[in-house]
A and B are shown apart, each in its own frame.
With several copies, the nearest count.
Chain A
Amino acid sequence: MNTPLHTHPRTLLVIVAEAALEKPLVRDARARGVQGWTVSEVHGRFFEGEREGAWEADRTIELKLLCDRATAEALASEVLARYAPHYSVAMYFTPAEVLRPERF
């Protein structure tokens, strides 16, 4: 009943990390021009990892950032360099499409 919608490709960058990183990650995302963010509280484990969540840091968050591919990649590289050596961080990209391109 609808003609196909015109959508715009974007990338969803998902970062699963210890909760202590929420504030700095959001700050970094904002600095790179990401226009919004969504956080859920999750729990989980990286089976074979040597590092492991500490007591208050046992809380884990999943941060989702919807933006263009270049921004997602730049942000991911920064996170990898800055936080991954010392913090629990898992990251992946997922393709996404949006309707209002000016917002994401």
Chain B
Amino acid sequence: MIDVVVFFFLLGLFARLVRSELKLPEALYETLSIYLLLAIGLKGGIELSKQPLATLAPEVAALAAMGFLIPVGLYPLLRLLRLSGVDAAALGAHYGSVSVVTFAVAQTALARANLPLEAQAPLWVAVLEAPGLLAGILLARLSAARDASGPPRWGELAHDVLFGKSVLLLVGGIVIGAVAGEAGTAPIKAVFIDPFKGVLALFLLELGLVAGGRLGDVRRFGFAVLLVGIGAPLLLSGVGAATGLLLGLGTGGVAMLATLAASASYIAAPTAMRIAVPQANAALSITAALGITFPFNIVIGIPLYIELARRLHP
């Protein structure tokens, strides 16, 4: 049985496809995304406070490498589809980075499937945010001989990612959860833990609306974008699962890494690419990431990746 939060996504998608004027206020969208990041972080932090801290260094290193290598690996494949160099680089960056909402949906799917997930999983999201963007920008620089906009401002970029909303709230939540622990966070449970799935449902309604708005562009970019939007996550889920097995994660962890690898960033990546690689076609990337890959993962991909993890992980 499909998870109830996915129905909200489908409702949003439907609303947009029938051209409904339904629209969530922008402030609500921003509030929901702040909430989700904090809540995911907090929950992870509380779990971490209950157990001896695993040595995270190998995980962090492996995931950073994975995030960086995804755009590098996708680049030649995307070029085969006749994408320009900068477009291939920018699109790759979206897949090297991750989608927090996809993480949240996978988390609830794992809970429903009774597959335990490593406590530090929210940290993975934080680690995976940046390396893919970095690789994408480097690839774009290498592919574009001359560039009107001058050398990238690396310092600024690093700052924007590290102290950007996502990483800051995720890591902030983790630290608060870990320091305050289960008892210390009990008084805020009624806001940050209990309503989590309901809030996720609302957020998916909004994302259905936004993703639906992108579907119209699929026709414009044709078959290539469809191929990328479905092919890339399928391919990358294998990469993620392999990384998870290598790191010795449990079934839940393997499924989650498969999901994260397969997910494409539709917030951090578009913003970063717009500034650092303005020549790239932003609409193309966002159509693939948000119009195709995101719905695919939410509705079809996640159950698939869980199944994959189960098979790979006896």
A interface residue numbers (CB < 8 A to B): 18, 20, 24, 51-57, 81-83, 85-87
In the complex, number of A-B residue pairs with CB atoms less than 8 Å apart: 41
Nearest-CB distance from B67 to chain A (Å)? 20
**Chain B residues, CB < 8 A from A55:** 210, 214, 266-267, 270, 282, 286, 290
Complex Cα–Cα for A81 and B271 (A): 21
With contacts A86-B278, A87-B278 known, is A56 near B271, CB below 8 A? yes
Interface residue tally of chain B, by bracket? 10 to 19
Nearest-CB distance from B121 to chain A (Å)? 25
Asked if B148 is at the interface of the complex by the 8 Å CB criterion, the answer is yes
Pairwise interchain contact A20-B275, C-beta atoms closer than 8 A: yes
A83 nearest in chain B by CB position: B278
Enumerate 6 A-B pairs (CB-CB under 8 Å) in ascending A order: A52-B283, A54-B270, A54-B285, A54-B286, A56-B274, A87-B274
Q: Is the interface of A mostly helix, strand, loop or mixed?
A: loop
Complex Cα–Cα for A52 and B285 (A): 12
Q: Which of A52, A57, A86 contacts B270 (CB 8 A)?
A: A57
Apart from the given pairs A52-B283, A55-B210, A55-B290, 10 other A-B contacts in the complex at a CB distance below 8 Å: A18-B274, A20-B275, A55-B214, A55-B270, A56-B270, A56-B271, A57-B274, A81-B148, A86-B278, A87-B274
Pairwise interchain contact B148-A57, C-beta atoms closer than 8 A: no
